[in-house]
Amino acid sequence: MNFKNLLIILTLLSATVTAFFWGGYHTLTPDLFLLGFIAVTAICAWAAIRMETRDLVVVTVVSLAAAVVDEYAHTSAGAFTYFDGVTPSPLTVFGWGLFILGILTVAQFLYEKIPLEAMDSDTLRSVPALISMALLIACAWIQGYFPVFTVLLVLVYTVLGLASLYYTSLHPLGWNAWVMAVGLAVGALMEFLGAMEGLWVYHFGEPLPLFMAFTWVLRTWTILAVSSLLDVEFPA
């Protein structure tokens, strides 16, 4: 058993829990969100004991760095506001380290079981990224979020899009498809539960701006892209 990796997960968990109480989120009694968070943490702990320590450190550091920039861009633009009023909230910055690893773990498990090898084609590998970007833009426009987007937020989305296209072009279509599917499912569920239980409020007060679900997919591919440049590859 890799105790160093478990210590990393425990540190992330402790930081997230500390931010949860420090920000007063416990007063909301977000039971459903906490159940989801516990499930993701359990998956991360299981994955950690099977990973190389360097790989886990790289993915964690890249996730936290991306979280600071991404969350600041969204909150400073007013796309959503956290219960603790901090820009960005430490709760989600540390939470990214666990959620991204959870998404990657589930996607890798499904890819190993159903690799979708017959789908692979060099010319089609970036189709999931193109679809995600197109639907993100369409949903943001339909739900009226374009006026909310600042120059910084547009820049962040541009980087996410380019990094996603770069990463998906170099990896099997089946893997890209599973990352998209799991990222959408986990991202949409946790965004919805967090909003429903008052951890954050979106600009127009809706339970889930659909573009946010696709944002999680681009975030995951971007973190994979940077990790790949640092010689950390998924699926491992």
Domain membership flag for residue 235? no
The 10s digit of each residue's pLDDT in 33-48 is 999 999 999 999 999 8
Domain count, the chain: 1
Query: Does 27 fall in a domain?
Result: yes
d(CA 50, CA 46): 7
What does pLDDT average to over the chain? 95
First to last CA, the chain: 17
Are 168 and 221 in contact by the 8 Å Cβ rule? The answer is yes
Contact 39, 85 (CB under 8 A): no
Distance CA 182, CA 234 (A): 14
Sorted by sequence, the CB contacts under 8 Å of residue 84 that are 6+ apart come out as: 22, 23, 24, 25, 91
**Does the residue 236 lie in any domain?**
no
Residue ranges in the chain modelled with pLDDT below 50: none
Residue 13 domain-assigned (yes or no): yes
Specify if 215 maps to a domain.
Answer: yes
Tens-place pLDDT, residues 117-163: 877 788 899 999 999 999 999 999 999 999 999 999 999 999 999 99
- Domain for residue 234, yes or no? no
Helix/strand number for the chain, H first, E second: 8, 2
CB 180 within 8 A of CB 217: yes
Domain that holds residue 78: 3-229
The per-residue pLDDT for 161 is: 98
List strand residue ranges (DSSP E) for 63-202, in order: 80-82, 200-202
